[in-house]
Amino acid sequence: MESQEFKFKGIVVNGFLMLFVNLAVLALSVYGIVKGIVLLGEAEVGWLIVVSALMIFVNIIMWCGFMQLEPNEARVATWFGKYAGTFANAGFYWINPFYGTKKLSLRARNLDAEPIKVNDKVGNPVMIGLVLVWKLKDTYKALFEVDTQTMAAPSQGTIGTDVKSIMNALEKFVRVQSDAALRQVAGQYAYDDEDGGAGDLTLRSGSDDINQLLEQKLDDRLALAGIEVVEARINYLAYAPEIAAVMLRRQQASAIITAREKIVDGAVSMVKMALDKLSKENVVELDDEKKAAMVSNLLVVLCGDDSAQPVVNTGSLN
């Protein structure tokens, strides 16, 4: 969706200059009323009092046109309900007081979402959480595409117009959409390689790719509210408590099998090396039966968990 935001094009005056003008007008108005009261009864005194009173009334309205902005803040101006532009220059200014303005923060914000339970690609329940850095990019969408004003304080039945309530409403919108995007991404992949196919991208092994996909999904969802995703990362990933113990035993069994495979491969290599060396250096002549016995004994020693208990054979090999 193309942005409809544009820069405020109304009259903007330096705030300090208008402050001096307002004070001067106020002083002249007060002086005119006081002088009119002192000269009460003369011909032109009535007009002086009326003009001075009108000047005070106009002066009160003019005081409503002052606004102050800090860096990375913006004010959205409306002219009797119609969008009139966004003003984002830091400083002290004065604009026509009949413009309605709402202040918004353009600063980066963090969202540390609590882990939620989702089902991965194969149906295993997992706990997954994310941390998100976001900031407001399009003020028009933030105010007029998303209902940030009435959902800012629904429990009190009030309309949120201050910057705090509007930004809280945007944060609520970000939290809900982040939850939905996280569920969508987590449901497309298995937790690890044992659940998915060999070489497939998984939640545990493909962290960079998963984070990139998550950031893209969040960008698509939050663009409606004019929000830019600075960074999105999965910061918590674990099996759900009801299957965590079983999955831990499965992982332990898998680790034991992998370790045993390496031990057997090493033991076979060592036995082969021992037999070849005994034969090459003519240390002892072994027939097939004795070789089989020697291989069996060496494998037991090399693959066993406990230390070997040697038995010294003092008999003849014949």
Q: Do 96 and 179 share a domain, yes or no?
A: no
Backbone angles phi, psi at 190, to 5 degrees: -80, 160
Single out the residue in 86, 104, 122 at which a domain terminates.
Answer: 104
Q: Rounded distance, CA 123 to CA 240, Å?
A: 12
Per the CB < 8 A criterion, the answer to whether 76 and 95 are in contact is no
- Work out the angle at residue 147's Cα, subtended by the Cα atoms of residues 175 and 88, and round it to the nearest 5 degrees: 90
Q: Which of 58-67, 98-107, 256-265, 294-303 has the lowest mean pLDDT?
A: 294-303
User: Domain for residue 78, yes or no?
Assistant: yes
Per the CB < 8 A criterion, the answer to whether 229 and 215 are in contact is yes
pLDDT reading at 194 higher than 80: no
Number of domains forming the structure of the chain: 3
Residue 269: predicted pLDDT:
80
pLDDT reading at 157 higher than 50: no
Per the CB < 8 A criterion, the answer to whether 189 and 196 are in contact is yes
Q: Which of 79-83, 188-192, 278-282 has the lowest mean pLDDT?
A: 278-282
- Which CATH number covers residue 162? 3.30.479.30
User: Domain for residue 172, yes or no?
Assistant: yes
User: Domain for residue 202, yes or no?
Assistant: yes
User: Domain for residue 286, yes or no?
Assistant: yes
* Distances, alpha carbon 104 to alpha carbons 145, 150, 230, in Å: 15, 16, 18
Q: Rounded distance, CA 225 to CA 17, Å?
A: 37
Single out the residue in 191, 214, 239 at which a domain terminates.
Answer: 239
Q: Average pLDDT in the 202-221 region?
A: 88
Q: Which of 27-41, 191-205, 229-243 has the lowest mean pLDDT?
A: 191-205
Q: Do 16 and 58 share a domain, yes or no?
A: yes
* Distances, alpha carbon 91 to alpha carbons 14, 67, 83, 94, in Å: 9, 8, 22, 10
pTM beyond 0.85: the answer is no
Q: Rounded distance, CA 70 to CA 89, Å?
A: 8
pLDDT reading at 308 higher than 70: no
Q: Which domain holds residue 137?
A: 109-239
Q: How confident is the model at residue 158 (pLDDT cuts 50, 70, 90)?
A: very low
User: Domain for residue 42, yes or no?
Assistant: yes
Q: Do 170 and 229 share a domain, yes or no?
A: yes
Q: Do 113 and 226 share a domain, yes or no?
A: yes
Q: Do 224 and 262 share a domain, yes or no?
A: no
Angle between helices 241-280 and 288-303 (to 10 degrees): 140
pLDDT, one tens digit per residue, over 159-187 is 456 788 888 889 999 999 999 999 999 88
pLDDT reading at 222 higher than 90: yes
User: Domain for residue 153, yes or no?
Assistant: yes
Token pair recorded at residue 64: 């409503």
Taking all residues of the chain, what is their mean pLDDT, rounded to a whole number? 82
User: Domain for residue 317, yes or no?
Assistant: no
Greater confidence (4 vs 272) lies with: 4
Residue 302: predicted pLDDT:
64
Q: Rounded distance, CA 130 to CA 207, Å?
A: 12
